[in-house]
Structure 1
Amino acid sequence: MPLSRLFSRGLAVLALLLAAACARTPEEQRIREAIAAMQKAVEAREPRTFMRYVADDFTGSKGSVDRAQLHNLMRAQFLRNEAVGVTLGPIDVALFDKRATATVTATLTGGSGEGWLPERGGAYRFTTGWKDVGGEWRCISAEWEQL
């Protein structure tokens, strides 16, 4: 096979490899997308969908909330509030191999859903820990403070 033909095939293979590498969503973006999906699940009042992004070994609020308690906390808020809103600020993600942290400020609102303004609301800073579980990012920890 002529050298020029080998070179052309080599370039074609390299181009395919580069295209495949570029097509993969960066890890930071995948975590941001998971957080956005969790936001939508809360607003849609779908705790099961939200919990898909929470690891089995989740711990929150300095160890006082486990995965089951988080699920129950969400259900209680949905019973208390007919309408729930979540407005996220910028999400800061830091990667550490197969782990990551994500920090975000969120405004949470709740109420009857009848008026233009919610009856309850507050701004919180969330610091979350994430791990890669079989190619999917799952939240393993969360700390929050009201601002």
Structure 2
Amino acid sequence: MANKPRAWRVLLTGLLLAGCAGEPGEAELRDAVGGLRTAIEQRDASAVEGALAEDFIGPDGLDRDGARRMAAVMFLRHRETGVRPGPLDVAMSDGYATVDFTAVVTGGAGRALPDAASIYNVSTAWRVEEGDWRLVSAEWTPGP
């Protein structure tokens, strides 16, 4: 009989951990944001598209395919691209999240200094799809 309370605690702990494992949390969201940054820096338009939800919407009605094409054009214009985000302001909800940050975006021909650099204020919305975070919407405006 002395083992029964311990067995229940072990079972209850296992159930709680199994329930938590079903939905990705903030660490996985931050990894998804980092993965999108990596896709941009590696000039991989297909990987950029892969991070986006099917119903992605950006500025001026930009859709998922348009975002892929925009990335591809940027990669053609600049041999090197970079994204340096500031601190991420993350707000989590049940299966949804927002991530806001300021980013420096650079592009260049591979010289010591980039040919172009811009600062943007970025607001994004994410949701869990089939166990992964996908970017649902993004807005960016010129920063300070």
- What does residue range 72-111 of structure 1 map to in structure 2 within 5 Å? 72-111=69-108
The question of whether the paired residues in 1 share the 8 Å contact of 2:23 and 2:131 is answered with: no
Structure 2 unpaired stretches of 5+: none
Distance in 1 separating the partners of 2:20 and 2:133? 19
How does the TM-score come out when normalised to structure 1? 0.86
Structure 1's consecutive aligned runs of 4 or more residues displaced over 3 angstroms after TM superposition are: 14-26
- What does residue range 1-147 of structure 1 map to in structure 2 within 5 Å? 3-17=1-15, 20=18, 27-61=25-59, 63-113=60-110, 115-147=111-143
| Equivalent position amino acid for 2:130 in 1 | G
Tell me the C-alpha RMSD between the 2 structures: 2.0
Structure 1 unpaired stretches of 5+: none
| Equivalent position amino acid for 2:117 in 1 | G
1:51 positional shift: 1.4
1:132 positional shift: 1.7
Aligned residues: 143
Residues 78-135 of structure 1 show CA distances to partners (whole Å, capped at 9, x for unaligned) of 000001111111111112322221111111101100x211110011111011122122
How does the TM-score come out when normalised to structure 2? 0.88
The question of whether the paired residues in 1 share the 8 Å contact of 2:107 and 2:114 is answered with: yes
| Equivalent position amino acid for 2:85 in 1 | L
Larger radius of gyration: 1
Q: State the secondary structure of the residue aligned to 1:7.
A: helix
The question of whether the paired residues in 1 share the 8 Å contact of 2:24 and 2:132 is answered with: no
Identity level (%)? 35
| Equivalent position amino acid for 1:137 in 2 | W
